[in-house]
Amino acid sequence: MIIDKADVVVTSPDRNFVTLKITTDDGLTGLGDATLNGRELAVVAYLTEHVVPLLIGSDAAKIEDTWQFLYRSAYWRRGPVTMAAIAAVDMALWDIKGKAAGMPVYQLLGGASRTGLLAYGHASGKELPELFDSVREHLEKGYRAIRVQTGVPGLKAIYGIASQGAEQGEPGVRYDHEPARRGAQPVQEDWDTRAYLRHVPGVFEAVRNEFGPEIPLLHDGHHRMTPIQAAKLGKSLEPYDLFWLEDCTPAENQEALRLVRSHTTTPLAIGEIFNTVWDFKDIIREQLIDYVRGAVTHMGGISPLKKTLDYAAMYQIKSGMHGPTDVSPVGMAAAMHLGLAIHNFGIQEYMEHGQRTNEVFEQSFSWQNGMLHPGDKPGLGVELNQDEAGKYPYEQAYLPYNRLADGTVHDW
Ligand SMILES: [Mg+2]
């Protein structure tokens, strides 16, 4: 199992994806997701110029050794570009090892700890009737847990509203139900934390009144609040029994969570933009979070995320892996294999990919009654249709950014 070839494939069926395809001398292939939304080509260059030449001729069986070599030999560690590139290699080598063994990757990770993975979908609406319709639509599709995002009176465009941007004249073509838009410049959205804090508790009260107490409801604060604002929101949402409040503060300042935690029992989920176990170390040890949001693609692969989640398990902290559409079907498959195997699985985020994406990436996962399962094909269970991939060249696209009413740039 010597690595003969490693190709970096960029394709943009419904959105941009970067995929690493490793081929061994005995003809096995493995796929890894290296997609970094809005900075895709930086990872392409990192892989093509600095990683692929190091892989050729090395032993595809040595997953841990290859990971440590790529992480430590660069000298410059961590960061989203580096870790997405290393993640793609790690995933591809697990895929190859599974194919060599004739087993799905979850078997190599210890076997299934459950029959399927509870997944949550994204319901949203500018106003309550649209939000209720979206929640109903998700329930009809079988979702058993739902993230709720809402418009805020006085704000034109904010994070997480699927219908937003559909109006004529708004710049940038919007990807299906996700915030990134094609174009040379990021689109500006607006923000007012006080208006948001006044509005959101009433929305959750209305959703609970309409849909009852049972369904797990989640909410994403998207890094916008100060610690004291986040504490206030967590406290004001307690009557509505959230499954979690996500990214309540920009968590680079991890001490902020001590303050939030001391004021609220609303469970906290953090870490979709984290890259390594070091970003989680203190907030896990101090039990400042309840769910680890790290994605396989952005945490350096299956190997390091499994270690992080095993560490979190010591503190009864569970997984809540990031799973928007900018995690490719390969990254999603990796998350499903890992989630099926670990003991402390919590929930999996799931946004369905578009039809073109599903034609480029041939997948074997199942989605039934609100539960995901990665399937039992050897490896990760995803194959790249390169003819289909070749039809969709890269198109520049960016996530939006925020400004306050006075023009100040704010966390998006
Ligand atoms: Mg999020």
Q: How many independent structural domains does the chain possess?
A: 2
CATH code, domain carrying 36: 3.30.390.10
- Give the model's pLDDT for residue 300: 98
Distance 293 CA to ligand 1 centre (A): 8
Q: How many CB atoms lie within 10 A of CB 194?
A: 9
The pLDDT of residue 165: 58
C-alpha 308, offset from chain centre = 16
How far is CA 107 from its chain centroid? 23
Q: Do 189 and 222 lie in a common domain?
A: yes
pLDDT, residue 161, reads 86
Q: Give yes or no for a contact between 187 and 402, defined as CB atoms under 8 angstroms apart.
A: no
Q: How far is the CA of 324 from the centre of ligand 1 (A)?
A: 8
Q: Read off the tokens for 35.
A: 């997609």
DSSP E strand boundaries for 129-251: 146-150, 173-174, 181-182, 188-190, 217-220, 244-246
CB 291 within 8 A of CB 325: no
Tell me phi and psi for residue 49, to 5 degrees. Answer: -85, -35
How many whole angstroms from 241 Cα to the centroid of ligand 1?
19
Asked whether residue 243 is assigned to any structural domain, the reply reads yes
Within 238-301, where are the H helices?
256-261, 277-285
- The answer to whether residue 404 is domain-embedded is no
Q: What is the average pLDDT across 121-137?
A: 95
* Residue 395 placed within a domain: no
**pLDDT over 70 (residue 82):** yes
Q: How confident is the model at residue 169 (pLDDT cuts 50, 70, 90)?
A: very low
Q: Which residues surround ligand 1, an ion (CB under 5 A)?
A: 220, 272
Q: Which of the listed residues 77, 103, 129 is the one where a domain comes to its end?
A: 103
Q: Which residue range forms the structural domain that includes residue 69?
A: 3-103
Q: Indicate whether 332 belongs to any domain.
A: yes
Q: Please check whether residue 405 lies inside any domain of the structure.
A: no
Residue ranges of alpha helices (H) inside 238-379 are 256-261, 277-285, 302-313, 329-341, 355-360
Q: Within this chain, do residues 127 and 41 fall inside the same structural domain, yes or no?
A: no
Torsion angle, alpha carbons of 307, 309, 310, 316, to 10: 160
170 or 141, greater pLDDT: 141
**pLDDT average, residue stretch 277-302:** 97
Residue ending a domain, among 54, 74, 103, is 103
Q: What percent of the chain has pLDDT over 90?
A: 92
Whether the CA torsion 282, 284, 288, 293 is positive or negative: it is positive
Q: Note whether 233 and 288 are same-domain residues.
A: yes
CA–centroid distance, 269 to ligand 1, in Å, is 9
Residues 187 and 60 occupy one common structural domain: no
pLDDT of 358-378, one tens digit each? 999 999 999 999 999 999 999
Query: How far, in Å, from the CA of 56 to the mean position of ligand 1?
Result: 36
* Angle, CA 208 vertex, CA 368 and CA 149 arms, to 5°: 70
For residue 322, report the distance from its CA to the centre of ligand 1, in Å. 7
Residue 133 half-sphere exposure, CB side, CA atoms within 13 Å? 8
60 & 178 share domain: no
Task: Tell me, yes or no, whether 67 and 196 share the same domain.
Answer: no
What tens digit of pLDDT does each residue of 222-256 get?
999 999 999 999 999 999 999 999 999 998 899 99
**Which residues are part of the catalytic machinery?**
159, 222
Q: Is residue 385 part of a domain?
A: no
Whether residue 394 lies inside any domain: the answer is: no
For residues 3-17, one letter each, b for 16 or more C-beta atoms within 10 angstroms of the residue's C-beta and e for the rest, the string is bbebebbbbbbbbbb
CB neighbour list of residue 193: distance below 8 Å, 6 or more residues apart: 224, 225, 226, 229
192 and 91 within one domain: no
Residues 123 and 66 in one domain: no
- Confidence band (pLDDT; 50, 70, 90) for 162? confident
Q: Is 40 inside any structural domain?
A: yes
Which DSSP symbol is given to 292? E
Could you tell me if 168 and 234 lie in one domain? yes
The Cα–Cα gap between 47 and 70 comes to 11
- In whole angstroms, what is the distance from residue 219 CA to residue 209 CA? 17
343/367 same-domain check: yes
Q: Answer whether residue 170 shows pLDDT above 70.
A: no
The helix or strand, by DSSP H or E, that contains position 23, with its residue range, turns out to be strand 17-24
pLDDT in tens, 183-224: 899 999 999 999 999 999 999 999 999 999 999 999 999 999
Query: Token pair of 337, please?
Result: 């294999």
Note whether 246 and 180 are same-domain residues: yes
Question: 144 and 219 share a domain?
Answer: yes
State the average pLDDT over residues 262-281.
97
Separation CA 358–CA 289 (nearest Å)? 34
Distance CA 84, CA 299 (A): 7
Handedness of CA 322, 285, 118, 134 (dihedral sign): negative
Q: How far apart are the CA of 323 and the centre of ligand 1, in A?
A: 9
234 neighbors 245 (Cβ within 8 angstroms): yes
Quote the CA–CA distance of 124 and 134 in Å, as a whole number: 6
**Interval 255-269: pLDDT, tens:** 999 999 999 999 999
